[in-house]
Amino acid sequence: MLKLKKVATLICLLLTATLLLVACASPTTTQPQTPSDDASETTQDDNANQEEPATPPEDPGEIVTLDFWTWRVEDVEFYNRMIDIFESRNPNIRVNQNAIRSTDYNTMLTAALAGGGGPDVFMSRPYGGIAVFAESGFMMPLDDLLPEELATFDQQSLNAAIAAATGNIYGVPAVSQAVFIFYNTDIYEELGLSIPTTWEEFLSNLRATQDAGYVGIANGTLEGWIGELMLGAIGPTFYGANDFFDRIMSGETTFEDPAFIAAVDRLNELAPYMPNQFEGVAYTDMQISFANGISAHFIGGSFEAGTFADLNPDINFNIFATPGDSASDPAYVSSWADMNFSINANTSQLDASLELLRFFASQEFGQAVVDQLAMITSVPGVDVAANPFIARVIELQENSTPYLLLVGFRFEQPTGSSLFQAAVQAMMVGDMTAAEVAAEVQRGVAEWFEPFQ
């Protein structure tokens, strides 16, 4: 009965937890050539003057097949290229990639693992996402299996792959993300605008772009997670960033703190500059609008860069952090570890699975993530200087704070994310106030978050 209860709780939690880094499409790249087997040198018979047949390649022995699941349907070709490289160096291992739409991934993976099946290696959610899988016995602890590889990662990345109940590491960290404001540099140049140094200057830029016939901000709220993403970009500068995070995690304050309510209310100030009937605007529509110069701004994550470049290779954009009421106020971005690679506790191919994870932990793979996906790799020692966008993200992360509801409040039901996402959708159309949003999150999280009890 306890096992069934755990599985039911897991399914319920994962159905409501939404991945933020959802939809980054990779720029189109040329498929690298797979190294071919070396053929033996051809010789001639001096008498018969006939070529001898080439020596066949060495038999790699028994072929092992791994199933690898991802939620990155946009990055299938990238992972195919990486798999080609891996297989060329491990001729006895074949990897079958199964990319599942992000919104379906949690449900399908949970059902497969709960039934004793599922992939050998899979992408895993960080923080609460990895904890519930690990505590249900679905993941292989990696501490003693990959000690050298895991020792190279920073502690912040590893924290997102640790299950607090066991203290073990259950994933190889993959990428991190941050949220901020994208702006179209061509539109800014056309209208003579500069990166805003205060909140009022930001609103002034929105008015100027709107008056010029552009949509000020591409964002819609059809999907609730976009509202949470907007809070991640706008809120920390106003609610107190790391100081507030530390105080709310200790129970010293709550979501009904006036500073948090005021930060949530800032989202209402953006509504006049969002698309008409923004409550019906979908995420993909937002991306297309910004990529094609219809909208001047896009509030989103670092994972968007590849998508914009793929949708419109000619787009010119840059990013900035939300400014405060005064130019002297620090401008913060929210950041988080976004993805891990984990092993099914029931895999029958542990050695091969570990080889694949070693490859994912390599600097070669990390460099490819930066160069081809324009994402921030968690692999240490990777050169990011050649990618101006990634360098700019890292610059903004000098003032970073944990992505509040994801990092701190996705461990039990109801999650802080699910509560806020539904409430902020109502607030943005006038059906709730910011204070009511905060009270709803506080009420739900207090059911399980011990510092609030």
Tokens of 204: 């002034």
Please report the pLDDT score of residue 59 as a whole number: 54
CA–CA–CA angle 284, 341, 420 (5° rounding) = 45
Tokens of 301: 């994550």
Tokens of 351: 């050695």
Contact at 8 Å (CB) between 243 and 34?
Answer: no
Q: Which residues contact 227 (CB under 8 A, 6 or more apart)?
A: 221, 267, 420, 421, 424, 425, 428
* CA proximity to 177, closest of 27, 12, 319: 319
* CA proximity to 270, closest of 208, 209, 216, 319: 216
Tokens of 51: 């070529």
Please report the pLDDT score of residue 157 as a whole number: 93
Domain spans, the chain: 11-22+62-176+337-393, 177-335+402-452
Question: Tens place of pLDDT for every residue, the chain, 453 residues?
Answer: 434 444 444 544 444 443 333 333 333 333 332 233 332 333 333 333 444 444 444 556 799 999 999 999 989 999 999 999 999 999 999 999 999 988 899 999 999 999 999 999 999 999 998 988 999 999 999 999 999 999 999 998 999 999 988 999 999 999 999 999 999 999 999 999 999 999 999 999 999 999 999 999 999 999 999 999 999 999 999 999 999 999 999 999 999 999 999 999 999 999 999 999 999 999 999 999 999 999 999 999 998 998 899 999 999 999 999 999 999 999 999 999 999 999 999 999 999 999 999 999 999 999 999 999 889 999 999 988 888 999 999 999 999 999 999 999 999 999 999 999 999 999 999 999 999 999 999 999 999 999 999
Equal fold, 11-22+62-176+337-393 vs 177-335+402-452 = yes
From the options 3.90.1150.10, 3.40.190.10, 2.60.40.290, 3.40.1440.10, give the CATH code of 177-335+402-452. Answer: 3.40.190.10
What are the tens digits of pLDDT across the range 420-445? 999 999 999 999 999 999 999 999 99
What is the CATH T-level fold of the domain 11-22+62-176+337-393, as seen in this structure?
D-Maltodextrin-Binding Protein; domain 2 (3.40.190)
Contact at 8 Å (CB) between 342 and 130?
Answer: yes
Please report the pLDDT score of residue 380 as a whole number: 92
Mapping DSSP to helix (H, G, I), strand (E, B) and coil, where does residue 65 land?
strand
Q: Residue 92's CB: how many other CB atoms inside 10 A?
A: 13
H/E run at residue 233: helix 224-234
Strand duo 376-377 + 215-217: pairing = unpaired
Distance CA 388, CA 161 (A): 28
